[in-house]
């Protein structure tokens, strides 16, 4: 069984099973994907995400504000905590720093927002889902200062270097790989997938974005997380079953409130 540790089920393309969440999830289950973490991009997404999770026992959700979105009012630490608790989030995020589009949201705003998410996660003892792009040193500095190594989190859709990955692992974080590792120009990322400890890796689609080979150019969907696992298996020269089992175990080790039989007070 596989887990899609990062997907945007409330943002499906109309070309993905006509935008039907139930049909999209059923296609993924047919491909042996057994668990989905649906990611919040704004806190306004939370009611819709919670409705999806109520309708589908294998969907869990996060609570957060993406670094490149601009809300009418910046959420406080309390706002983030209350949203997570009200809607039963198993993680905080996605949050982080994106300097590739720093013109969209100023760096100082991104920093303060990221810090508030890290503080909310620390208070709730929930893992953090981190978006990081071209902001290596600043991302690591904020994680060192504000994250809880006992709870940790994940650097999702990772595209940075081995040095950053190793430091993140040292800080208690996992590294999540997406369909990008199947791209022709992603040899350094495949080498990273080969060298990092398998017990610190997660797999994801980030659907509907970043469809893997051989589906590039199409809207991505959770069923295709299997392509990510197969690529990791090839570069490590191990079976895809081993990748599936270990990354699934890693997911539940990190997102403890997502464990199907977790007690209600944990969820």
Domains of the chain: 2-258 (3.20.20.140)
pTM recorded for the entire structure: 0.96
Neighbours of 115 (CB within 10 A): 15
Q: Is 241 annotated as a binding residue?
A: no
* Sequence-separated (6 or more) residues with CB below 8 Å from residue 128: 91, 92, 93, 95, 117, 118, 121, 147, 151, 152, 153, 154
Per-residue pLDDT tens digits of the chain, which is 267 residues long: 999 999 999 999 888 999 899 999 999 999 999 999 999 999 999 999 999 999 999 999 999 999 999 999 999 999 999 999 999 999 999 999 999 888 889 999 999 999 999 999 999 999 999 999 999 999 999 999 999 999 999 999 999 999 999 999 999 999 999 999 999 999 999 999 999 999 999 999 999 999 999 999 999 999 999 999 999 999 999 999 999 999 999 999 999 999 987 655 344
Q: Is 94 part of any known ligand binding site?
A: yes
């Amino acid at each position: 069984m596989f887990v899609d540790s990062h997907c945007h089920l409330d943002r499906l393309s109309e070309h993905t099973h006509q935008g039907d969440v139930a049909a999209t999830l059923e296609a993924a289950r047919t491909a042996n994907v057994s668990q989905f973490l649906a990611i919040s991009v704004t806190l306004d997404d939370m009611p819709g995400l919670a409705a999806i999770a109520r309708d589908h026992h294998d969907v869990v959700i996060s609570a957060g504000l993406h670094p490149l979105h601009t809300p009418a009012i910046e959420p406080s630490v309390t706002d983030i905590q209350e949203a997570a608790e009200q809607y039963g989030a198993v993680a905080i995020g996605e949050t982080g720093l994106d300097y590739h589009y720093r013109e969209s949201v100023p760096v100082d705003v991104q920093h303060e927002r990221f810090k508030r998410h890290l503080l909310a996660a620390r208070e709730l003892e929930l893992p953090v889902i981190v978006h990081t792009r071209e902001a290596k040193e600043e991302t690591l500095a904020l994680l060192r200062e504000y994250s809880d190594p006992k709870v940790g989190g994940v650097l999702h859709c990772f595209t940075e270097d081995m040095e950053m990955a190793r430091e993140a692992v040292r800080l208690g974080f996992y590294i999540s790989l997406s369909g990008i590792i199947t791209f022709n120009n992603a040899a350094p990322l495949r080498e990273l997938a080969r060298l990092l400890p398998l017990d610190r890796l997660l797999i994801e689609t980030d659907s509907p974005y970043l469809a893997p080979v051989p589906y590039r150019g199409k809207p991505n969907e959770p069923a295709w997380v299997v392509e990510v696992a197969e690529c990791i298996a090839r570069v490590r020269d191990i079976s895809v079953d081993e990748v599936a089992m270990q990354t699934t175990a890693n997911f539940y080790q990190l997102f403890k409130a997502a464990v199907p039989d977790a007690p209600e007070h944990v969820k």
